[in-house]
Amino acid sequence: MIGRMIHRTNFAQLLRAAMVAAMVGAVLIAASFLTAPLAAADPPSPPADIRESPADLLDRLLRARRFDEAQRLMQRRMDDGDRDPVLLYNSACALAQLGQLQAAEKRLLECVKAGFRDFDAMEADDDLEPVRASHTYEAIMEARTAIDARAPSAVAPRPRRKSSVPDPVAQWKSDHPEEYRSDKGYRYDHGEEGNGGENLVYATFLDEASHARMKRMLDELATHLRRAYFGKPPEDIVLVAIVRPADAKKYLERPEVRGMYLHSARRLVSRDAGQSLQHEFVHLLHFAQMERTGQRHPIWVQEGLASLYEDYEFRADGSVEFHPNIRFNIARRQVVSKTAKHWDQLFALSGEAFMQDAERLYPEVRSIFEFFAREKKLEEFYRQLCNTATTDPDGSSAVEKAFGEPLARVEDRWSKWMIERGAIDDSIDQNDASLGITVDDAGDGVRIRSFVLKSAAKAAGLRVGDVIFEVGGAPVRNRDEMQLAVARLVISTPVEVKFRRDERELTLPVSPRALGR
Ligand SMILES: [Zn+2]
């Protein structure tokens, strides 16, 4: 029962915003963006951030032990003539658990007749306990030897729980058999032990220090997310891969797709250790919880929460602060021009409809979650959502319960807050502070490609090829983060720039200069 559930971060809109705003080195960067193939002629975002196939749905219902709904789905397939032995077997289990014992016995016999041969699994399966004492069950077990002799195990379908969960690590290792080297292979590791982190397996091409930094970040994030929303760690092994640029094409369809979580494969792939990794990592833990509880939260919640964690910071007291990112101004413009989608319509969107309008909706849902967090209602909202998921499929009553107000009133306060807050400074103008460099993404930072005339970074001793990963205490893992870090600089106020040169990590103070001087 391996199905398809896809989560994808599409940062096309961020990149386009970055084009408009120009970047780090302003003029030169802007020019290089225009020649880059990624954003200029980008088609509208395709649907399919999340899809649930009928097989995925059935698998989820069975795992959540929602046998009533699962049985109805299976009955429909059997009515259509499907005689798949595992389907019949699972149906027998569901019927047994629903107390329909005669039907369960009949179905059990049918599954054996259809070719089900995994009697060991049958004997070990607690779900069949209610029919264990029946004549049919005994007869099947007595006939087992004869059946085994007639039908060799080659045709035996495997039982459900084992077969439904892939092993993403074995798959990855067989696809990438090379030993880790600076130019090849992957470095493997797993999350914090004793805390469920063993089930998170990391595969990255980062050097040792960057890898350790990434791991610390994810461990800390996982602890927070589990405490705030998701509870238990994933039950299955999940792979988290920071993919080599050469392998990116295989896992991420297009250059502007920065990351993807594919739940059916238990695999997260990200191009860098920054925003997209954080975004997809929220999906990963969220999916584990939804699967455990048999819930499926609306797309605006899934994407809103994931987007929220693209930019956050833990304060000394352990609480979390969310920073506006490039999406904020996009959302704010929509609110100001009254083109933002109304919450009642937004909440009801299917995953497919959401993705068709992704460029508008990602910024909006992130701003909604920023608002929830600001109002200190985020965790309460999520708790309400989990409590009412079956009666409140679009999440609107969870919002009303958390805020104690009608939805329209909360929405109204959100739009006022958006307007009052004002646009964030994400652009770089002629007289803004600048480091005077052009950069490329480098997985866990940005690599200096060239210097502009009278470059502050060059004057401070940085070189072409250095990989910057921190500016003024703020992590810089990609060009978007570099843009925001540079927007915060003040002319002539020195800032510490951390970077990697060959295998060493170095720090230099850089005194930003006015752009264009
Ligand atoms: Zn997403």
User: What CATH number corresponds to the domain at position 265?
Assistant: 3.40.30
Distance 82 CA to ligand 1 centre (A): 34
CA atoms of 207 and 502, how far apart (whole Å): 10
**Number of structural domains, the chain?**
4
CA atoms of 261 and 240, how far apart (whole Å): 9
Distance 170 CA to ligand 1 centre (A): 25
DSSP code for 390:
T
Distance 360 CA to ligand 1 centre (A): 14
CA atoms of 355 and 341, how far apart (whole Å): 14
Distance 327 CA to ligand 1 centre (A): 14
Distance 9 CA to ligand 1 centre (A): 5
Within 8 A by CB and 6+ apart from 9, the residues are 257, 258, 259, 260, 275, 276, 279, 280, 306
Same domain, 328 and 451: no
Distance 283 CA to ligand 1 centre (A): 7
Same domain, 506 and 487: yes
Domain end among 427, 447, 468 = 427
Distance 475 CA to ligand 1 centre (A): 21
Distance 298 CA to ligand 1 centre (A): 12
Domain end among 102, 136, 162 = 162
Same domain, 365 and 460: no
Q: Does residue 30 lie in a domain region? A: yes
DSSP code for 227:
I
Query: Burial code of 458-483, b = ≥16 C-beta within 10 A, e = fewer?
Result: bebebeeebbbbbbbeebbbbbbbbb
- Over residues 22-32, the pLDDT tens digits come to 333 333 332 22
Distance 512 CA to ligand 1 centre (A): 35
Distance 284 CA to ligand 1 centre (A): 10
Q: Does residue 61 lie in a domain region? A: yes
Distance 157 CA to ligand 1 centre (A): 34
Amino acid identity at 206: L
Name the pLDDT band for 294 (thresholds 50, 70, 90). Answer: very high
- Over residues 241-268, the pLDDT tens digits come to 999 988 998 999 888 889 999 999 999 9
Quick one: what percent of the chain has pLDDT higher than 70? 85
Sign of CA pseudo-dihedral 427, 430, 435, 438: positive
Task: Enter the pTM of the model.
Answer: 0.65
Same domain, 184 and 292: yes
Kindly report the average pLDDT of the chain as a whole number: 82
- Over residues 197-218, the pLDDT tens digits come to 889 999 999 988 999 999 999 9
What is the average pLDDT across 370-374?
A: 97
Distance 49 CA to ligand 1 centre (A): 7
Distance 37 CA to ligand 1 centre (A): 23
Q: Does residue 475 lie in a domain region? A: yes
Distance 258 CA to ligand 1 centre (A): 10
CA atoms of 413 and 343, how far apart (whole Å): 12
Name the pLDDT band for 366 (thresholds 50, 70, 90). Answer: very high
CA atoms of 397 and 412, how far apart (whole Å): 16
| Phi and psi angles of residue 407, each rounded to the nearest 5 degrees, phi first | -55, -45
Distance 358 CA to ligand 1 centre (A): 10
Same domain, 197 and 272: yes
What is the average pLDDT across 119-146?
A: 80
Maximal CA-CA distance, the chain? 91
CA atoms of 127 and 98, how far apart (whole Å): 10
For residue 66, the surrounding DSSP H or E stretch is none
Distance 336 CA to ligand 1 centre (A): 25
Same domain, 219 and 106: no
Same domain, 292 and 368: no
- Over residues 378-403, the pLDDT tens digits come to 999 999 999 998 899 999 999 999 99
pLDDT at 183: 78
Distance 306 CA to ligand 1 centre (A): 6
What is the average pLDDT across 441-470?
A: 88
Distance 6 CA to ligand 1 centre (A): 9
Strands 437-441 and 467-471: unpaired
Distance 281 CA to ligand 1 centre (A): 9
- Over residues 153-195, the pLDDT tens digits come to 444 444 444 446 788 999 999 999 998 887 789 999 999 887 7
- Over residues 44-63, the pLDDT tens digits come to 333 334 455 677 678 777 87
Q: Does residue 394 lie in a domain region? A: yes
Within 8 A by CB and 6+ apart from 324, the residues are 311, 370, 424
Distance 329 CA to ligand 1 centre (A): 19
Query: Burial code of 122-150, b = ≥16 C-beta within 10 A, e = fewer?
Result: beebebbebbeebebbeebeeebeebeee
User: What CATH number corresponds to the domain at position 99?
Assistant: 1.25.40
Distance of CA 9 to the CA centre of its chain: 7
Helices 378-388 and 396-403: angle between axes, nearest 10 degrees: 130
Q: Does residue 12 lie in a domain region? A: no
CA atoms of 68 and 95, how far apart (whole Å): 8
More confident residue, 366 or 36: 366
Domain end among 296, 322, 347 = 296
- Over residues 93-104, the pLDDT tens digits come to 888 888 888 888
pLDDT at 241: 97
Ion ligand 1: residue ranges with CB closer than 5 A? 7, 303, 306
Within 8 A by CB and 6+ apart from 326, the residues are 14, 17, 18, 21, 426, 480, 483, 484
Distance 244 CA to ligand 1 centre (A): 21
Same domain, 205 and 117: no
Q: Does residue 307 lie in a domain region? A: no
Q: Does residue 507 lie in a domain region? A: yes
> How big is the chain, counted in residues?
517
Distance 276 CA to ligand 1 centre (A): 9
Distance 46 CA to ligand 1 centre (A): 13
Nearest of 83, 145, 138, 139 to residue 116 by alpha carbon: 83
Q: In which domain, by residue range, is 408 found?
A: 314-427
Same domain, 215 and 121: no
Distance 307 CA to ligand 1 centre (A): 7
Same domain, 208 and 325: no
- Over residues 467-504, the pLDDT tens digits come to 999 999 888 988 888 888 888 888 888 899 999 988 88
Distance 279 CA to ligand 1 centre (A): 6
Distance 256 CA to ligand 1 centre (A): 14
The secondary structure of 267-325 as a DSSP string is EEEESSSSHHHHHHHHHHHHHHHHHHHT----HHHHHHHHHHTTSEEE-TTS-EEEPP-
Same domain, 422 and 442: no
Q: Does residue 305 lie in a domain region? A: no
Distance 301 CA to ligand 1 centre (A): 10
Within 8 A by CB and 6+ apart from 126, the residues are none
Distance 292 CA to ligand 1 centre (A): 20
Distance 282 CA to ligand 1 centre (A): 8
CB 28 within 8 A of CB 21: no
Same domain, 439 and 490: yes
More confident residue, 420 or 85: 420
